[in-house]
Chains A and B, each alone.
Chain A
């Protein structure tokens, strides 16, 4: 968790207060101007689509820095890509595309193993499957959308992850939102980490179960909550809970931290709660053979009841999967609405995942998979240690390819983003509502396709921009380390 120094908190709050004030003044002028002009609202008698304060944040704060988000690209999201230039004639309210592009270093896409661009093993096979199965099946899985590729991938995923069976979905976000209501309903309890992703929050809300939150990554608090809830029972009737599911993520995308999986599993086993592990960012990216956080932390996959993951990040495709015991998968195939009503995954995308997993496992006959995994681990650790030496406040654990750099102040968000883009480095900045209001950050995602030179260039640019913007909150590593190295060289 991030500890916010008081001075920074104060200055950030003052900045937001000023922005809010200016926004309100502008709204006031807008109201006066509208009254004066007797602007006829589209159709008299219709209530406006958005009332006053509902989209205040979007209109007055987000739109000012709109050019930092949603930047279009004109090539594959590889280590270097082409960012399309945009300009605005009305102070960022609308943005127009040009046809100019700049080649930038990509530090923002979730391309952990480098499968985003055309790959020598994967792409020919994808093209073949496109010719054979065409681009879509036009029907739902239950009716005629299941092809041989789908069944092959389900078996492969189950083998890769270490579970008996798996089921596929066309979109990672929808996997969580559709599965959680199928597993638990009214009378059940969901205990989820306080920093869980929006898809899990939506799925929990949609299920109808009672949701309780435990402090981020704190197994002792989880135990307290579990004891209290089991002893109390359901809220007003005090009947015992039907079932309890604890939902955690492998790598938290906004923090870059790994979850304390062994302790959490031990607590859940003791209190007979089911565990649901969301490995969206960690599958394929960490662990010695890419099998995710279970392998890295030495947890037996049989101890986790349900493992969920997505194919968008490490495998360069789209979609999500759930891996669990055969009976649970059978039940899900029968009840889950995303399986029964949604068009099945596109066959070329399925083939891409199959090929990517084969490369990672080494079944394509080369050791590119092992090389990629070693490369991403080395890259992440190198980048993180360098950033910390330079004095940035970097979150996250070692080995995790996601690195948030704290910015805090709202003005530093566009400053950092635009300055980096001017120097041809593309970074991603996140602010409210994806993070808490005061804790805005820039998030770096390292890929296995970044070479050492790319990383060094990125570090140089970030260091320069960091000095300019003023985000080196920690003291720079003292010079004595450099002096020691000089001594060693002399000797």
Chain B
């Protein structure tokens, strides 16, 4: 029975092959023997090519007509530029009628001033005022140009040299606006792909700099060294690529928001263990901490070369406008072509120069 079925199938297949092969048996095209299966294959290829060449089905795109755009534009209503004014917004700050020294006059009354960051009491100092008047008459008030285009006055360069000498660092550079110092320095060195470990309690300017730098930012608990240690550990553990990426720790010497002092010796120890660079903002500690006012490094007895970048705004102890950044020559050179320290007012800078002289004398 099975044999009979097998025989029948073989006979049928043979019949089909003969029928297929017969018309083309012995046909030779371009020296190639044509067999039946070749026809099927050619037909298949032809069908595939045909399907490929057809446009894929996409729903037709109908761009908006001019009238529709007009309607949309008419309908659109913007929000007002400012939110509704609340009671809180209407409060005015007190207006001073005299210098912002320890005693000042507001609305005709003499009051004790606990609001100004006049740490060394340099406001109203006679010697400084006299030298300022001299420089005013010589140089005018503004420098009328960015640093690159004749806005650099020899006094600026002297001031930079003085600051470096005072702090013991190789080089320094001046900025013209206190808070913009830190948020220009951070993006100049930290780019996308770098890792920054920053304290939670840093002030707005530092936060802005971190945001502008577009690096990966990891925060550690405010002034908590064990938290810093575990964060550094977490960031570097198992990260083979960590060798190539630049890594920074950003801290402030005296935190503006909480008044705490950062333990620099701990930070330097951790930095050397995990190979990070330290960016230290000394706005409130320059001229305040340390036996001769040289800042946090002197306060803790740490050699200042261990800190890679020190920035400070001069609006506090130095009672002037602007900021500076010091570090190695490479660090400072890199900033020369980065913008942000444009027009500088040299009147206050001559002040600073005198002030640092005073420090030396003290």
- Partner pick for A139 among B98, B115, B212, CB 8 A cutoff: B115
**Separation of A46 and B194 alpha carbons in the complex (Å):** 12
Nearest CB of chain B from residue A267's CB, rounded to whole Å: 11
| A145 in contact with B178 (CB, 8 Å) | no
| B244 in contact with A139 (CB, 8 Å) | no
Q: Can you list, as one digit per residue, whether each of B143-175 has a CB less than 8 Å from chain A (1) or not (0)?
A: 111011111111011000000000000000000
| B76 in contact with A428 (CB, 8 Å) | no
| B245 in contact with A316 (CB, 8 Å) | no
With both beta carbons as reference points, the residue of chain A lying nearest to B305 in the complex is identified as: A42
Q: Can you list, as one digit per residue, whether each of A183-211 has a CB less than 8 Å from chain B (1) or not (0)?
A: 10000000000000010001001100000
Number of chain B interface residues as a range: 35 or more
**Separation of A404 and B33 alpha carbons in the complex (Å):** 79
| B315 in contact with A312 (CB, 8 Å) | no
- Partner pick for B144 among A109, A118, A143, A346, CB 8 A cutoff: A109
A305 within 8 A of B: yes
Nearest CB of chain B from residue A210's CB, rounded to whole Å: 14
| A144 in contact with B113 (CB, 8 Å) | yes
| A130 in contact with B129 (CB, 8 Å) | yes
A318 within 8 A of B: yes
Nearest CB of chain B from residue A277's CB, rounded to whole Å: 14
With both beta carbons as reference points, the residue of chain B lying nearest to A175 in the complex is identified as: B177
| A428 in contact with B124 (CB, 8 Å) | no
Nearest CB of chain B from residue A149's CB, rounded to whole Å: 9
Interface residues of B in 72-104 (CB under 8 A from A): 72-73, 76-83, 85, 88-90, 93-101, 104
- Partner pick for B141 among A132, A183, A349, CB 8 A cutoff: A349
Q: Please judge, given known A-B contacts A109-B151, A227-B73, A343-B178, whether A132 and B204 are in contact too, CB under 8 Å.
A: no
A290 within 8 A of B: no
- Partner pick for A342 among B95, B179, B246, B277, CB 8 A cutoff: B179
Interface residues of A in 413-439 (CB under 8 A from B): 426, 428
Nearest CB of chain B from residue A101's CB, rounded to whole Å: 9
**Separation of A71 and B245 alpha carbons in the complex (Å):** 36
Q: Please judge, given known A-B contacts A135-B132, A138-B315, A318-B345, whether A330 and B85 are in contact too, CB under 8 Å.
A: yes
5 contacts between A and B (CB under 8 A): A227-B73, A243-B78, A274-B78, A327-B82, A348-B136
Which chain A residues have a beta carbon within 8 Å of chain B's beta carbons? 42-43, 45-50, 54-55, 58, 62, 69-78, 81, 83-84, 97, 106, 108-111, 115-118, 122-123, 126-127, 130-139, 141-148, 150-151, 170-174, 177, 183, 198, 202, 205-206, 226-228, 230-231, 240-244, 271-274, 305-306, 311-313, 315-318, 324, 327-328, 330-331, 333-334, 337-338, 340-343, 345-346, 348-349, 352, 426, 428
Which chain B residues have a beta carbon within 8 Å of chain A's beta carbons? 64, 68-69, 72-73, 76-83, 85, 88-90, 93-101, 104, 113, 115-118, 123-124, 128-129, 132-133, 136-145, 147-154, 156-157, 176-180, 189, 191, 203-205, 208, 211-212, 243-247, 275, 277, 313, 315-316, 319-321, 328, 330-331, 334, 336-337, 339-340, 342-345, 347-348, 351
